Amino acid sequence: MRWSIKPQPEEKQIEALAKELGVSSTIAKLLIQRDITTYEEAKNFFRPQITDLHNPFLMRDMQSAVDRILQAIKNEEYILVYGDYDVDGTTSVALMYAYLLTITPNVTTYIPDRYEEGYGVSYQGIDYAHDNNISLVIALDCGIKAIDKVAYAKEKGIDFIICDHHRPGKEIPDAVAVLDPKREDCKYPYKELCGCGVGFKLIQALHQTQEKSITELYPYLDLVATAIAADIVPITGENRILAHYGLKMINEKPRTGLQALLENFKQKEFTITDVVFKIAPRINAAGRIKHGLHAVELLTETNLEQAKIYAQEIETYNQDRRDLDANITQEALVQITENKEEENFSTVVYQENWHKGVIGIVASRLIETYYKPTLVFTKSGEKMAASARSVKGFDVYEALEACSEYIEQFGGHKYAAGLTILSENYVPFREKFEEVVKNTILEHQKIPEITIDAELDFDEITPKFYRILKQFAPFGPGNMHPVFMTENLKDTGFARKVGTEETHLKCQLQQENNQNVFDAIGFGLGEKLSLIENQQKFAIAYSLDENEWNGNVSLQLRLRDIR
């Protein structure tokens, strides 16, 4: 692991902000690193207000989208809410469908089959709309590159409204409205919304047109927060406000489907991290193993008993998904070793019977072992499909663009993408991808990095300090959980490996010339035990969290690395 300390603000600036806010210099430092330098900015950061959301009509085409929906409602047209099969897509569909149902009964949903139709807007979906007398399709979390599909729909008399957040291509589809803050000609002030966030802006605009209060839209924010967490978008600006209120809904008054899902966990409060690791994989599992519509059914169900049945089915899909991804990861690791590809600059693996629904997860797992841009291929009909994942700082989307001569289609963003190729292009594509990565990856991008916010002495860690730190949440990209570094530490003699395979490290630490002693846990750091035994001195990179045991809550250090 490479430790890098964030640029530290000037002492004068730290002292001024600390004094103005009445906080410690470390808290002031953390705020300045997040571009919070005034009392007003700090107030907005610690107390997000729903009223600070931008006017949705600042987004290009928003008025056209609202007008077309209101026209459809007035003329009693049938509306199809169409979305991708992942968490962002299924939550978007649930959100738009649930909202439109409050103003028209003529609305239905469609999620493409991951295996039969693939990603995004499909010809089958448009044919379904045509066969069912549907004249307006609202596509969420997809559609920005669906030039031919939207033209095909137009020929059949079907209008499209697109709500997307992916990078547009050179051409924009000829739809009634294309809502995407990443459009170059869109002046919307916040560019980092997820697909469900763009969908929320559309219902906010519809609500505003009816002169209703935005507070009535609170019940939809549990879905938006789930999508923000799952899609790993920056938790800054509008996303921070939406995530803040969405988490409140998840913890205080979740929709029936989420309530049924959350009952499987014996905990009182859920954080963004819980949403990422507990809720999102389960919602995703429906589309990976069975069909994304199962997730939409769960998220729109209003009867608790029925929701519990759906939640149990999704729990089963998730278990199947876990088994599959563990097995495929193992097969992929064997393949890398057998082909002697450990020294390559990229990881590209293929087996025709790997389950298409979990290859993205497998790609992420492989990065944990071989830290390099990774593609996992499987057979998809007559073609080959892959999921791509990347390492910090390396733009895998750009790397794929450089290999586009061998690619049938691809989409995604800097750290994650999907693509399809013809079988005969696999070998030349793999060679080209390896060459592109080799020539563009920087030396520091080859080593996992821990970014440290600040050095901290143990005597600074007080209940008050932690109380303020907790208010930095919700954490995520753009506002990561602060990571600290403390030096001159010794273990008090309790250090041991824990866990069924002894892969984790549990210890109790004390700093030189300091009375404070803290319990610490390091997941996956079991092999570091030798570094801290026998009263050796060492340094740690860590974050702070709470440990609850037998009803007692105590501060503990969550170790990231030891040296």
Q: Which amino acid is at 356?
A: K
How is residue 500 annotated by DSSP? Answer: T
DSSP string, 213-281: -GGGGGGGHHHHHHHHHHTT---SHHHHHHHHHHHHHHHHS--HHHHHHHTTS--S---HHHIIIIIHH
How is residue 132 annotated by DSSP? Answer: T
| 304-326 pLDDT tens trace | 999 999 999 999 999 999 999 99
- Domain 56-313 is found in CATH 3.30.70.1560: no
Q: Quick check: helix, strand or coil at residue 188?
A: coil
State how far the Cα of 373 lies from the Cα of 392, in Å rounded to an integer: 9
Q: Which residues contact 294 (CB under 8 A, 6 or more apart)?
A: 286, 310, 313, 314, 317
Residue 58's Cβ-side half-sphere holds a number of Cα atoms within 13 Å equal to 10
Q: Which residues contact 32 (CB under 8 A, 6 or more apart)?
A: 9, 13, 14, 17
Q: Domain residue spans in the chain?
A: 2-47+450-562, 56-313, 323-446
Q: Which residues contact 24 (CB under 8 A, 6 or more apart)?
A: 18, 460, 465
How is residue 339 annotated by DSSP? Answer: T
Give strand ranges (E) for 381-467.
Answer: 383-389, 409-412, 416-422, 449-452, 454-455
- Domain 2-47+450-562 is found in CATH 3.40.50.300: no
Q: Which amino acid is at 11?
A: E
pLDDT computed for residue 289 by the predictor? 86
Q: Which residues contact 478 (CB under 8 A, 6 or more apart)?
A: 192, 234, 235, 236
pLDDT computed for residue 528 by the predictor? 94
- Burial class of residue 302 in the structure, from the number of CB atoms within 10 Å of its CB (0-12 exposed, 13-18 middle, 19+ buried): exposed
Nearest alpha-carbon partner for 285 in 477, 114, 143: 114
Beginning with the edge strand found earlier in the chain, give each strand of the sheet holding 383-389 in spatial order.
Answer: 347-350, 374-380, 383-389, 416-422, 409-412
Class of domain 323-446: alpha beta
State how far the Cα of 499 lies from the Cα of 523, in Å rounded to an integer: 9
* 0.85 exceeded by pTM: yes
Six-digit token string for 204: 């906010």
B/e letters for 452-472, b = 16+ CB within 10 Å, e = fewer, are bbbebebebbeeebeebbeeb
**Residue position matching structure tokens 């049924």:** 260
Six-digit token string for 467: 């109380």
Six-digit token string for 313: 């089915």
pLDDT computed for residue 416 by the predictor? 87
State how far the Cα of 51 lies from the Cα of 43, in Å rounded to an integer: 14
Residue numbers in the chain where pLDDT is lower than 50: none
Do 2-47+450-562 and 56-313 fold alike per CATH?
no
The dihedrals phi and psi of 558, each to the nearest 5 degrees, come to -95, 100
Contact 556, 520 (CB under 8 A): yes
pLDDT computed for residue 288 by the predictor? 84
| 93-116 pLDDT tens trace | 999 999 999 999 999 999 998 878
pLDDT computed for residue 379 by the predictor? 93
How is residue 115 annotated by DSSP? Answer: T
SS3 percent helix, strand, coil of the chain, rounded to 5, is: 45, 20, 35
